[in-house]
Structure formats: structure tokens, C-alpha cells
């Protein structure tokens, strides 16, 4: 502002005008107003060709070009300075920014040449240390760790702030680790831990010590070191990194996803600004999705076992109570049914004596001691209130069906671990061989997993099974190249919208899919696409979102709008109240449980009741046992780059 006043007061031809305009340009640059800085310096070069500040203004103009991404113009400016007769310090700065330009484009050899020129020409310590830092990084990037170590050691000879000094030490340690010179790195870090000037960085140093233990395959010791950092340095950047590295060990080395998630969630709590927060958040969300499926699947199998074999903590205690009644009655028939006057008199006498001693005794005690049979019956009543499993066999089997398939999809599509997807897909195929909707897709996914693993032999076997068992499925046709392209002119607007909704469905964006399905149903009321859309909404709520109330509402709408269609009749069955259950007396012993249907029969009964998935309709919108016309969703990538994604988790089978 003052510089502009000088120019306005004395004119742009005064002896101070060039000084003022140069300061204005620098001010815009420091304020990060690079476009304004460029404009001022370009104006300066045209108006003040004889100014002493002209060479400097050219340097600042080149810097502005760099910030604006105009690299070619920046290169021209810096090269012009080097070709002129500017002083060494100005040329050193031109070399510095030229080096930065090459460094950013990963042309490290040329960058190194210019950084070395800076060190030869510059008398400015700040410029020299900046060049040394960048020179070390360029050598590090090229894998020349010996030269990088020399550069970092040279930096430490300068009088620089502690933050910059620690940065140089940290990079020096990294270079020693890359050389696998672990002893030298450990010795250096032990020395740093004795210097109180670096106390703010102790947590980071101890994390690096744990890193070395991990590199030396001392995984258990490394975990103990990470835990020690969490204990000694809470709420620090080092603690956040320790939690992150612990999470990685639990996830990749131990396959303990629940413990890994706990550690990933802890990263942000320890230090919200840590560089590991973003990656830890992604890993935590990913593992949360897995644990939700796995925990529900574990509960499903546990409930299925209880339904088939009984819950010993509930059934056996109930049977024991029943057997006790019968045993007492057999051993003491007279006592169990004793209603004679002598017993009544004795009971009344005891009650009267207690009443006189405890005038405020409750009414139950004042009635006298209850009979053995009454006491045992009371126990029996309490035991009968306990319920082992709150779901019936069909509900449990349906949940297993859904979650077992979802587990395979998670490993193949979300987690990008095809080897871990093999087991759930194989188990799904074995359990549900008659499912004409998902089993062909499971075969196709299994084939894809083997292909990704490079196992062509098993892939061909799976493909042959798919062709033999489901020759007309969309997945068989796709692998055989028999899918016919539809005429785009025949696709109606409703059809296009339906396909759009299905694409959102495949991506897991169920709310968007439902909105489009409902729009189709309202816009083309009564059409086959309206029927398909209504059924898709109901099926999504029932089988994917697991919202029973909304599913019932959707089935009611479907039954009301299409009452005479097979799909409408199916919807009416869904919303019909269940028949009243017959009350049966509890079995006298555990042998009664043996009469329950075997697991195979339960599965077969369940499969008969499975509702077909949307996409299994004839051309008129009614149901038919064919596969939905949707392809498998594309793979989602982006897992942690530092780990080998081709190898599976060691503990996946255990999980």
C-alpha cells in the first residue's frame, strides 16, 4: 500500500518507482497471490529495463511461473539468468529452482547437477541447506543411500532449527535402515534418546526402533515395543503411528481383524493430525464391514446348532426340573399328594408360630410351607420361560444363505483378496446347490478368483461345473460368448431407469436404487417394469437391508397393485399372518431332541421357501427360474500399497 503511494505521489518514472514496484510484486508472491505477482513482474521487465532490480525481478517472475504451473516459462526465465552476467548468489538461486523443477518431474540426475551448482555458488546458508536437503532426497530416491547419508551428515553441521535438525536425523536413520545397517541406525537412535533437546521426538524415535525389530522379523518384540510407546507417550504422533503399525500387524500378519480395527480406531484418538489417520480410517471401515458379516455368520451357525441339538444351558436344566418332579413323586407318593388333616394341622401350627414372631411377615409366608410338588412346579414354570434361540430354523438358514455369500463378495470385490474368497464361495455352492439365482454367480465368482490367482486348472474345473449344472445361466452364456446384444432402440425409458437402479444396487447404494425403483412404479403404473420395480424394493428391504417393517409395507403395496399376478400372490403370502403354533409339552428327557429333522432336511425345506431374487421374471414381468440380467460388479482396488496383496491372510481360515 505504501509502495503504491510512492508511485502515485512521485510517478512511475521516479528513481524510487522501480524499488516500489519490485516490493509490490514480492508482497503479492508472499501473500500467495501468484497471478498478481506475475503481472507486476512482467510489467517491471517492460518498464524498468535498466533497473538494478531487473535480474532479481526475473528470478521472482520465474518463481511465480513455477507456482502457477507454467513450467516452460519458468525454465526459460531461470536459463536466461544463468546465461547472463548475474552474480553468483542469484545464479545459485536460479540453479536451485531449476533443480526443484527437475526434481518434481522425477528427473533426479539433472536435479542433482543443479543442486551441486547451488552448493558451489551460494554464500547464503539458508539456500545451501535447502539445496542439501533436496540433494539428499534426490540421492535417496535414486537408491544412492551412501551419498544421501553424507548429505544429511553435512546438513547437521549447519546451525539450523531443531525441527529441521530432527528432520535430517530422521531421514539419515531411514537411509541407514534402507541400507539394512540396523546396528548403526539403532546406535544413532539410542544416542538421540539421551539428548533432551529431542524429547518432543522421543515417541517417534522409539517407533522407529520398533520398526527395525519388525524388519528383523522380531514381530513379537516389535509389538511389545509399540505397546510400550502407547503406554509411555499417550496422545502423541508416535503413539498414533504405534497404533497404526499394531493394526497392520494384527491385520496382515496375525489375521486378527477385530484387534486390528481396535488399533486403527485408536490412531485418531492418539493424534488427530497424524499422517496415518486417513489410511487408518479406511482400514477400520473396511474391517468393520467384514466383522459385521463374520459376527452375524458365527451367530447364525451357533443358533443353527442349538436348534438342531439343543442348548445344554437351557434344555438340560429344563429336563432336570421335569425329571426331579417325577423322581420325587415316585419316591414319596404319599408326601407329594399329602392332603390329610395331620399335615394341614402341622402346617397351620407352624404358620401361627411364625405369625406371632413376625407380625409383619408377608402373606405368602403366612400361608405356611408349600408342598414339594408345588415348589417343583414353580421351578418348572421359571425354567420354561428361558428361550435358547429367538429365531426359527428358516430364519437362521436364510441369514446363513445371505451372509455366507456376502462374505465371499467381501473378500473378492471389497477386500481384494481372491484367495480368502475361495472358502466361502465353495461352502455356499456346497450348501445351496439348487439356488438358481446366486449359486451360478458364486461359480462365476469362484472362477474369477482362481483366474486372479493364476490357477488356471481349478478355474477350468469350476467353469466346467458351471456349464454342466447351469448351462442357460447368464454367467455360462457370458463365459461361452453367447450373450446377445440388445437393440438399443427397443429399450424403453423405464427399462433404462431400471438398469440404472440396478447399477446403484450393485455398488451398494441401496437408497438411490430404491428411489429410482419407486419412481418407475409411479410413472409406469401397471406395467411390467412397475411390477419388477415394486418387487425389487420389497426384496431389497427383506434380504439386503433387513428392515422387516419396510419390507412388509412394500409387499402390501405390491399385492394391492398386482393382486392377480404370481408375484402379487407371492407378496400376499409374505404379508399373511403366520398360523397359530401348537403348544407342545416339553420333552421329559433329552432324547426327544433326536427326533428333530437333520440339517440336510432343514436346508432343503429352507431352499423351497426362498423367494426368488428380482431379475428372475419372464418377459411379461412374472417369475421364472432364470438368473438376473446383471453382471458382476467391478473390482474395487486401493488397498495398502506397502503390503503384498497377492498373498492372503495367514489366519483367514481361522476367522
Total domains, the chain: 2
The answer to the question of residue 480 being in a domain is no
- In degrees, rounded to 5, the angle at the alpha carbon of residue 617 between the alpha carbons of residues 615 and 618 is 140
pLDDT of residue 484: 64
Assign residue 234 the CATH number of its domain.
1.25.40.10
Among the ranges given (9-18, 51-60, 432-441, 529-538), the one the predictor scored with the smallest mean pLDDT: 9-18
Per-residue pLDDT at 332: 40
Q: What is the CA radius of gyration of the chain?
A: 39
Residue 185 near residue 213, CB atoms below 8 Å:
no
Q: For residue 626, count other CB atoms closer than 10 A to its CB.
A: 18
Residue 337: pLDDT over 70: no
Burial class of 157 by CB neighbour count within 10 A (0 to 12, 13 to 18, 19+):
exposed
Residue-level pLDDT at 639: 32
pLDDT greater than 90 at residue 205: yes
pLDDT digits (tens, 9 = 90+) for 367-396: 444 454 555 455 444 444 455 688 999 999
Could you tell me which of 121, 76, 114, 70 has the C-alpha nearest to residue 96? 114
Exposure b/e, 426-436, CB count within 10 A at least 16 = b: ebbbebbeebb
Dihedral angle sign, alpha carbons of residues 339, 340, 343, 346: positive
Cβ burial 271-305 (10 Å sphere, 16+ → b, else e):
beebebbebbeebbebbeebeebbebbebbeebbe
> What pLDDT shows up at residue 522?
83
Is the distance from CB of 338 to CB of 371 less than 8 angstroms? yes
pLDDT band of 322, cuts 50, 70, 90: very low
Range of 306-320, 458-472, 528-542, 621-635 with top mean pLDDT: 458-472
The C-alpha atoms of residue 496 and residue 491 are separated, in whole angstroms, by 7
For residue 569, what pLDDT is reported?
81
How large is the average pLDDT for residues 337-357?
Answer: 46
- Which of helix, strand or coil describes residue 355? helix
What is the pLDDT, as a whole number, of residue 13? Answer: 65
Beta carbons within 8 Å of 101's beta carbon, 6+ residues apart: 66, 71, 74, 75, 78
DSSP structure string for 379-425: HHHHHHT--S-SS-HHHHHHHHHHHHHHHHHIIIIIS--HHHHHHHH
pLDDT of residue 607: 41
pLDDT score at 6: 61
pLDDT at 233 over 50: yes
Q: For cell 431400471, what's the residue?
A: 498
**Spatial CB neighbours of 140, under 8 Å, sequence gap ≥ 6:** 148, 171, 174, 175, 178
Question: What does the pLDDT average to over 547-559?
Answer: 86
Which residues are CB-neighbours of 268 under 8 A, at least 6 positions away? 240, 274, 277, 280, 281
Q: If you average pLDDT over residues 620-638, what whole number do you get?
A: 36
Helix (H, G, I), strand (E, B) or coil at 617: strand
Average pLDDT for 78-103 = 93
The whole-angstrom separation of Cα 364 and Cα 347 is 13
pLDDT over 70, % of the chain = 73
Average pLDDT over residues 626-635: 34
Q: Considering the domain boundaries, does residue 232 fall inside one?
A: yes
Per-residue pLDDT, 413 = 94
User: Rounded to an integer, what distance in angstroms lies between the CA atom of residue 145 and that of residue 179?
Assistant: 7
Cβ(140)–Cβ(103) under 8 Å?
no
Domain assignment present for 519: yes
pLDDT at 121: 95
Q: Which of 155, 214, 224, 225 is nearest to 182 (CA)?
A: 214
- CA dist 127 and 160 (Å) reads 12
For residue 132, pLDDT over 80 is answered with yes
Which of 531, 546, 576 is the endpoint of a domain? 576
Kindly state whether residue 284 falls inside one of the protein's structural domains.
yes
pLDDT given for residue 211 in this prediction: 96
Q: Which of 259-263, 301-305, 616-620 has the lowest mean pLDDT?
A: 616-620
Q: Region 313-331: what's the mean pLDDT?
A: 44
- Nearest-angstrom CA–CA distance, 511 and 525: 21
Domain that holds residue 280: 197-296
In a domain, 555, yes or no: yes
How far is the C-alpha of 373 from the C-alpha of 324, rounded, in Å? 10
Question: What pLDDT, on a 0 to 100 scale, did the predictor assign at position 314?
Answer: 52
- Interatomic CA distance for residues 152 and 169, integer angstroms: 7
Strand-pair partners of 617: 623
Categorize the per-residue pLDDT at 257 as very low, low, confident or very high, splitting at 50, 70 and 90.
very high
The phi, psi pair for 617, rounded to 5°, reads -100, 160
Among 113, 19, 97, which residue's Cα sits nearest to residue 64? 97
In-domain check, residue 563: yes
Going by pLDDT thresholds of 50, 70 and 90, the confidence category of residue 491 is low
Say if 16 falls within a structural domain.
no
Of 536, 556, 576, the position where a domain reaches its end is: 576
Helix axes 237-248, 202-215, angle to 10 degrees: 20
- pLDDT recorded at residue 311: 65
At CA 613, angle to CA 610 and CA 618, rounded to 5? 115
C-alpha cell at 155: 546438513
Nearest to 280 by CA among 296, 266, 294: 266
Kindly indicate the confidence band of residue 573, based on its pLDDT and cuts at 50, 70 and 90: confident
Residues whose CB falls within 8 Å of the CB of residue 201, separated by 6 or more in sequence, listed in order: 166, 170, 192
How far apart are alpha carbons 191 and 181 in whole angstroms?
A: 16
- At 446 the pLDDT is 96
CA angle, residues 497, 499, 501, in degrees to nearest 5: 70
Which of 576, 609, 626 is at the close of a domain? 576
Max avg pLDDT among 267-271, 437-441, 525-529, 541-545: 267-271
Label residue 582 by pLDDT band (50, 70, 90): low
- Tell me which residue of 294, 231, 235 sits closest to 261, measured CA to CA: 294
Q: How far apart are CA 590 and CA 579, in angstroms?
A: 27
CA distance 226 to 242: 5
Query: Minimal CA–CA distance to 439: which of 481, 404, 480, 387?
Result: 404
270 occurs within a structural domain: yes
CA–centroid distance for 497 within its chain? 30
Contacts of 62 (CB under 8 A, 6+ apart): 73, 74, 77, 78, 81, 94, 97
**What does the block give as the cell for 380?**
418348572
Q: What is the mean pLDDT of residues 194-221?
A: 96
Strand, coil or helix: what is 596?
A: coil
Least confident of 40-49, 443-452, 481-490: 481-490
List the alpha helices (DSSP H) in 48-181.
54-67, 71-83, 88-104, 108-121, 125-141, 145-155, 162-178
Query: Residue 387: its pLDDT value, please?
Result: 58
> Mean pLDDT lowest for which of 150-154, 262-266, 642-646?
642-646
What is residue 579's predicted lDDT score, i.e. its pLDDT? Answer: 63
- Lowest-confidence segment of 187-191, 449-453, 599-603 by average pLDDT: 599-603
Q: How do residues 12-66 score in pLDDT, each as one tens digit?
A: 666 678 888 888 888 999 999 999 999 989 988 888 888 888 899 999 999 999 9
pLDDT at res. 384: 47
Give pLDDT, residue 625: 35
Give the integer Cα–Cα distance in Å for 468 and 476. 9
CA 578 to chain centre: 39
pLDDT over 90 percentage in the chain: 53
Print burial letters for 499-522: b (CB count within 10 Å at least 16), e (below 16): eebbbbbeeeebeebbebbbebbe
Amino acid at each position: 500500500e505504501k509502495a503504491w503511494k510512492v508511485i502515485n505521489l512521485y510517478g512511475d518514472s521516479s528513481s524510487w518507482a522501480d524499488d516500489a514496484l519490485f516490493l509490490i510484486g514480492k508482497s503479492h508472491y508472499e501473500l500467495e497471490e501468484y497471478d498478481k505477482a506475475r503481472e507486476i513482474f512482467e510489467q517491471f521487465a517492460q518498464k524498468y529495463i535498466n533497473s538494478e532490480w531487473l535480474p532479481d525481478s526475473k528470478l521472482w517472475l520465474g518463481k511465480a511461473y513455477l507456482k502457477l504451473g507454467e513450467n516452460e516459462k519458468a525454465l526459460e526465465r531461470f536459463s536466461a539468468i544463468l546465461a547472463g552476467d548475474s552474480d553468483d548468489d542469484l545464479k545459485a538461486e536460479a540453479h536451485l529452482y531449476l533443480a526443484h523443477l527437475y526434481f518434481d518431474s522425477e528427473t533426479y540426475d539433472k536435479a542433482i547437477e543443479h543442486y551441486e551448482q547451488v552448493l558451489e555458488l551460494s554464500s547464503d546458508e539458508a539456500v545451501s541447506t535447502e539445496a542439501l536437503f533436496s540433494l539428499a532426497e534426490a540421492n535417496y530416491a535414486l537408491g544412492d543411500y551412501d551419498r544421501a547419508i553424507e548429505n544429511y551428515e553435512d546438513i547437521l553441521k549447519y546451525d539450523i532449527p531443531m525441527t529441521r535438525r530432527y528432520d535430517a536425523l530422521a531421514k539419515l536413520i531411514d537411509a541407514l535402515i534402507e541400507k539394512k545397517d540396523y546396528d548403526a541406525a539403532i546406535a544413532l537412535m539410542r544416542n538421540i534418546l539421551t539428548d533432551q533437546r529431542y524429547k518432543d521426538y522421543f515417541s517417534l524415535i522409539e517407533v522407529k526402533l520398533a520398526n527395525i525389530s519388525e524388519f528383523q522379523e522380531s514381530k513379537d518384540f516389535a509389538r511389545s515395543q509399540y505397546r510400550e510407546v502407547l503406554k509411555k507417550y499417550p496422545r502423541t504422533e508416535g503413539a498414533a503411528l504405534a497404533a497404526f503399525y499394531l493394526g497392520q500387524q494384527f491385520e496382515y500378519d496375525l489375521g486378527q481383524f477385530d484387534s486390528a480395527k481396535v488399533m486403527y480406531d485408536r490412531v485418531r484418538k492418539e493424534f488427530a493430525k497424524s499422517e496415518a489417520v486417513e489410511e487408518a480410517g479406511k482400514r477400520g471401515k473396511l474391517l468393520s464391514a467384514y466383522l459385521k458379516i463374520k459376527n452375524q455368520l458365527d451367530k447364525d451357525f451357533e443358533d443353527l446348532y442349538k436348534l438342531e441339538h439343543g442348548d445344554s444351558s437351557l434344555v438340560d436344566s429344563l429336563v432336570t426340573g421335569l425329571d426331579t418332579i417325577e423322581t420325587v413323586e415316585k419316591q414319596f407318593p404319599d408326601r407329594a399328594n399329602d392332603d390329610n388333616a395331620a399335615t394341614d394341622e402341622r402346617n397351620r401350627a407352624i404358620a401361627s408360630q411364625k405369625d406371632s414372631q413376625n407380625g409383619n411377615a408377608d402373606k405368602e409366608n403366612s400361608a405356611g410351607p408349600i408342598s414339594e410338588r408345588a415348589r417343583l412346579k414353580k421351578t418348572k414354570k421359571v425354567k420354561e420361560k428361558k428361550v435358547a434361540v429367538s429365531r426359527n430354523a428358516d430364519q437362521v438358514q436364510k441369514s446363513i444363505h445371505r451372509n455366507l455369500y456376502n462374505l465371499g463378495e467381501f473378500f473378492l470385490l471389497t477386500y481384494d483378496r481372491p484367495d480368502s474368497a475361495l472358502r466361502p464361495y465353495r461352502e455356499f455352492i456346497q450348501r445351496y446347490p439348487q439356488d438358481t439365482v446366486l449359486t451360478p454367480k458364486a461359480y462365476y465368482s469362484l472362477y474369477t478368483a482362481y483366474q486372479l490367482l493364476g490357477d488356471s486348472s481349478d478355474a477350468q474345473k469350476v467353469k466346467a461345473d458351471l456349464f454342466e449344472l447351469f448351462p442357460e445361466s447368464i454367467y455360462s452364456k457370458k463365459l461361452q460368448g453367447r450373450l446377445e446384444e440388445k437393440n438399443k432402440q427397443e429399450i424403453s425409458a423405464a427399462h433404462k431407469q431400471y438398469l440404472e437402479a440396478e447399477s446403484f444396487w450393485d455398488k451398494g447404494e441401496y437408497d438411490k436404487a430404491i428411489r429410482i425403483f419407486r419412481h418407475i412404479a409411479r410413472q409406469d403404473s401397471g406395467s411390467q417394469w412397475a411390477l419388477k420395480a415394486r418387487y425389487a424394493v420389497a426384496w431389497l428391504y427383506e434380504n439386503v437391508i433387513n428392515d422387516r417393517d419396510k419390507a412388509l409395507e412394500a409387499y402390501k403395496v405390491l399385492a394391492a397393485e398386482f393382486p392377480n399376478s404370481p408375484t402379487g400372490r407371492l407378496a400376499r403370502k409374505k404379508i399373511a399372518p403366520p398360523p397359530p403354533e401348537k403348544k407342545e409339552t416339553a420333552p421329559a428327557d433329552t432324547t426327544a431332541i433326536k427326533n428333530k429333522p437333520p440339517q440336510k432336511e432343514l436346508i432343503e425345506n429352507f431352499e423351497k421357501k426362498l423367494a426368488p431374487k428380482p431379475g428372475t421374471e419372464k418377459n411379461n414381468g412374472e417369475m421364472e427360474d432364470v438368473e438376473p440380467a446383471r453382471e458382476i460388479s467391478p473390482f474395487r482396488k486401493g488397498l495398502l500399497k506397502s503390503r503384498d496383496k497377492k498373498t492372503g491372510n495367514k489366519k483367514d481360515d481361522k476367522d
